[in-house]
Amino acid sequence: MDIDELLKRYAYPDRTPWLRANMIATLDGGIQYKGDTAAIGYPLDHRLMEGLRGLADIVIMGAATVREYDSWPDDAPPLAVVSRSLDLDFEGGVFEGGRTIVVTCSSAPEELLDKASGRADVMLAGETFADIGPALDALAERGYQRMLCEGGPRLLAQVAAAGWLHELCLTLSPMVTSGDASRIMNGPVLDTPHRMRLMHAIPDSDYLFTRYAIE
């Protein structure tokens, strides 16, 4: 399948701000195999991830997901790292160039706040992260209207609970792995299930690219 043709099916809507999540899961719901997300993916899924980044104004990740990266591509949009504890490698390549935003709260350790400020653009969003909504509001106010969240599961669950999950792009991997791998969201049960509408389901080999949007 041609990646350029595939990406035409993922144009952002005119409505803004708009937060899209992009995840991959096995048929039995796991997002990793033996701790490795790449083990359930394949090259076109990786190219789709890169392409979706190119359509976004900003990419949002939780700290655990960011720890899997040694660097951040120069041709990708800015990265916003959401972390309450600031348990991050601020000397790592992800924080080179000063483009990365760290979204944290005022209760974060002061020493780590100082370290983060020296390597990134720090955004304080309230005292705690009981609600991620204000942080996303603040990013939108900075002009980041087309957002892409790549997890992890805890952050994505918070995004959904805050009413900010406008779209879910989910690649179904043709694997069954069992085990105790996380689901794409791990968090409290939502007060009301969020009904989403199927925008497309595109097969490629035995993989399936699905796109759902809020009704």
Tens-digit pLDDT profile for residues 96-110: 988 899 999 888 999
Q: Are residues 141 and 162 in the same domain?
A: no
Nearest to 93 by CA among 125, 56, 66: 66
Coil/strand/helix, residue 96: helix
- What's the N-to-C CA distance of the chain in angstroms? 29
Is residue 13 a part of any domain in this protein?
Answer: no
The pTM of the full predicted model, rounded to 2 decimals, is: 0.95
CB–CB of 107/113 below 8 Å? no
Is residue 185 a part of any domain in this protein?
Answer: yes
The β-bridge partners of 91 are: none
Q: In angstroms, what CA-CA distances link 57 with 45, 83, 153, 162, 175?
A: 20, 20, 21, 20, 32
Q: Is residue 35 scored above 90 in pLDDT? A: no
Which DSSP category does 88 fall into? Answer: S
Q: Are residues 141 and 158 in the same domain?
A: no
Q: Are residues 160 and 211 in the same domain?
A: yes
pLDDT tens-place string over residues 175-203: 999 999 999 999 889 999 999 999 999 99
